[in-house]
């Protein structure tokens, strides 16, 4: 399915059906009001009404805003793909709704058919956004930007959704190399010999029982005169069995999604380079597989991280933070960034705190958090702040090492995981760093908003919105 912006009105646009977004207050103003009332259409959010004889698909929206239109557009495209219409059209007359329509149609219409022997055939080929007027060039520029971000989100979804026998640390590194080649990015990969030379012992311990070598991936996008330098760090657990602290069988299903932070930062640098933003972006990924074997790391092990901080392992299923500890330390040494952001499917506790739709944000700078709340509002992603405090920090105390990898109490688990990472952020970078826990928002087994079953691409739209806002 293609989405096209055309410099015409809907009256002059040839398509099989018109998609119209209608509030409760506007039903009576619609020229098909009588038929809509006969059909029982109340214009409640995401409700749909096909008037086939009038070539109209009415989409209910709670109010005329981006969030309502995005969600309704996602519902509409699913219905259109289940029909035999080959083309559709809708009116675009407000710049505020460009992103919403693009995201609703593109992300809501996303399918992952890679493993189906016979992918479902869809008749729908094109949706036209009709936009006629003197300011068409402005709409076109906004549309093109929105398409880049939406496609980068789908790129992220594709990698997360791929099965663990296909995406392991070594093949994820190959994906990164391919992206670097296609988008003219710099690329450095450290294999296990390189990791040993860097003393990345915490990361190496997590991947020790896997048949696949752990990899550290560093991609760089370097425009000529960047306004700022950004470091993005992604947790790349291509599969997480829990190690010797083995997950329950039902908890292992969907654990291919534990690489969503890594895939997300790949989508972010892809979008930044294609938008040609004047922001230098560095991506660092710790690609590891946490498996079970005779040489697996164990509870009670003491790991010496790259920063020489010693870590008491009390749970091998708290592995992502061990990987990030070394990668964050490495990233801070290699790049003197203005901002450092890490993305990780780190804790189920974040989902307990904020629900499955919301990304948890942690860090020391309230000003920086507020900037991301603005970015979230404009991007359509949901974030919530989880506050650090010294009382929770004390729960990471170890009697035999510098820090324990899990809290001594079962409460505030998302925050204590963030506080563990904070231990590996240098003092001069504390105000520059934020941690994003995407454990709930990165993957879904029930469609919501513009997200379909599987990976959501969490973080890509949020980060692109933030990057575009940098002065």
> For the segment 24-45, what is each residue's pLDDT rounded down to a tens digit?
999 999 999 999 999 999 999 9
pLDDT tens by residue, 191-221: 999 999 999 999 999 999 999 999 999 999 9
Which residue out of 162, 259, 321, 432 is catalytically annotated?
Answer: 321
Closest CA to 419 of 349, 321, 341, 329: 321
pLDDT, residue 26, reads 94
pLDDT, residue 327, reads 99
pLDDT, residue 120, reads 85
Cβ-based neighbours of 31, under 8 Å, separated by 6 or more: none
Closest CA to 416 of 310, 315, 296, 291: 315
Rounded-to-integer distance, Cα 173 and Cα 286, Å: 10
pLDDT, residue 446, reads 96
SS3 category, 280: strand
CATH of domain 2-135: 3.40.220.10
- Residue by residue, pLDDT tens for the chain (471 residues) are 999 999 999 999 999 999 999 999 999 999 999 999 999 999 999 999 999 999 999 999 999 999 999 999 999 999 999 999 999 999 999 999 999 999 999 999 999 999 999 988 999 999 999 998 879 999 999 999 999 999 999 999 999 999 999 999 999 999 999 999 999 999 999 999 999 999 999 999 999 999 999 999 999 999 999 999 999 999 999 999 999 999 999 999 999 999 999 999 999 999 999 999 999 999 999 999 999 999 999 999 999 999 999 999 999 999 999 999 999 999 999 999 999 999 999 999 999 999 999 999 999 999 999 999 999 999 999 999 999 999 999 999 999 999 999 999 999 999 999 999 999 999 999 999 999 999 999 999 999 999 999 999 999 999 999 999 998
Question: Can 247 be counted among the known catalytic residues?
Answer: yes
pLDDT, residue 220, reads 98
Question: Can 314 be counted among the known catalytic residues?
Answer: no
SS3 category, 84: coil
pTM over 0.85: yes
**Is 434 within 8 Å of 357 (Cβ atoms)?**
no
Give the start-to-end residue ranges of the domains of the chain: 2-135, 149-469
Residues across the chain:
471
SS3 category, 269: helix
Helices 260-274, 169-182: axis angle to 10 degrees equals 10
**CA distances (Å), 38 to each of 19, 30, 33, in order?**
19, 13, 9
Closest CA to 402 of 328, 287, 291, 307: 307
pLDDT, residue 416, reads 98
CATH value of 149-469 in 3.90.1720.10, 2.60.40.650, 3.40.630.10, 3.40.50.2000: 3.40.630.10
pLDDT, residue 358, reads 98
SS (H, E, C) 360-427: EEEECCHHHHHHHHHHHHHHCCCEEECCCCHHHHHHHCCCCCCEECCCCCCCCHHHHHHHHHHCCCCH
pLDDT, residue 119, reads 85
Rounded-to-integer distance, Cα 465 and Cα 39, Å: 40
pLDDT tens by residue, 305-323: 999 999 999 999 999 999 9
179 membership: H or E segment, kind and range: helix 169-182
Cβ-based neighbours of 397, under 8 Å, separated by 6 or more: 403, 404, 408
Which residue out of 247, 369, 423, 468 is catalytically annotated?
Answer: 247
The percentage of residues in the chain with a pLDDT greater than 70, rounded to a whole number, is 100
pLDDT, residue 133, reads 85
SS3 category, 436: strand
pLDDT, residue 310, reads 98
Closest CA to 434 of 330, 336, 356, 339: 339
SS3 category, 334: helix
Closest CA to 439 of 360, 333, 371: 360
Closest CA to 191 of 162, 158, 216, 154: 216
């Amino acid at each position: 399915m293609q989405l096209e912006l055309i410099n015409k009105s809907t009256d002059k646009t040839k398509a099989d059906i018109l998609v119209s977004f209608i509030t409760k207050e506007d039903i009576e103003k619609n020229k098909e009001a009588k038929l809509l009332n006969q059909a029982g259409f109340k214009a409640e959010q995401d409700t749909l009404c096909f008037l086939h004889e009038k070539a109209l698909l009415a989409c209910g929206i709670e109010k005329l805003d981006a969030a309502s239109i995005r969600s309704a557009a996602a519902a509409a495209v699913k219905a259109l793909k289940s029909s035999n219409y080959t083309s559709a059209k809708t009116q675009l007359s407000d710049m505020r709704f460009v992103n919403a329509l693009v995201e609703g149609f593109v992300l809501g219409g996303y399918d992952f058919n890679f493993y189906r022997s016979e992918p479902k055939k869809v008749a729908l080929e094109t949706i036209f956004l009709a936009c006629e007027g003197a300011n068409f060039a402005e709409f076109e520029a906004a549309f093109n930007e929105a398409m880049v971000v939406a496609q980068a989100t789908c790129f992220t979804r594709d990698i997360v959704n791929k099965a663990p026998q296909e995406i392991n640390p070594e093949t994820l590194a190959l994906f990164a190399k391919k992206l670097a080649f296609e988008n003219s990015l710099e690329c450095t990969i450290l294999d296990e010999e390189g990791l040993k030379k860097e003393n990345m012992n915490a990361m190496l311990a997590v991947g020790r029982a896997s048949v696949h070598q752990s990899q550290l991936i560093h991609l760089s996008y370097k425009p000529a005169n960047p306004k700022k330098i950004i470091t993005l760090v992604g947790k790349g657990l291509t599969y997480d069995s829990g190690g010797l602290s083995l997950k329950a069988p039902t908890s292992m299903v969907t654990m291919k999604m534990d690489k969503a932070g890594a895939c997300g930062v790949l989508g972010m640098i892809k979008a930044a380079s294609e938008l040609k933003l004047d922001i230098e972006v560095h991506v660092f990924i710790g690609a590891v597989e946490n498996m079970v074997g005779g040489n697996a790391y164990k509870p009670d092990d003491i790991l010496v991280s790259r920063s020489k901080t010693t870590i008491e392992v009390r749970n091998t299923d708290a592995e992502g933070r061990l990987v990030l500890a070394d990668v964050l330390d490495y990233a801070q040494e290699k790049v003197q960034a203005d901002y450092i952001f890490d993305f990780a499917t780190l804790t189920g506790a974040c989902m307990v705190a904020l629900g499955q739709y919301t990304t948890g944000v942690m860090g020391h700078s309230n000003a920086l958090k507020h900037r991301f709340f603005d970015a979230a509002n404009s991007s359509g992603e949901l974030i919530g702040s989880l506050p650090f405090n010294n009382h929770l920090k004390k729960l990471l105390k170890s009697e035999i090492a510098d820090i324990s990898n899990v809290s001594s109490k079962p409460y505030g688990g998302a925050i204590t995981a963030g506080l563990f990472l904070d231990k590996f952020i240098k003092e001069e970078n504390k105000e520059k760093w934020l941690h994003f826990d995407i454990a709930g928002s990165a993957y879904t087994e029930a469609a919501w908003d513009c997200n379909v079953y599987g990976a959501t691409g969490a973080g890509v739209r949020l980060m692109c919105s933030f990057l575009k806002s940098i002065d």
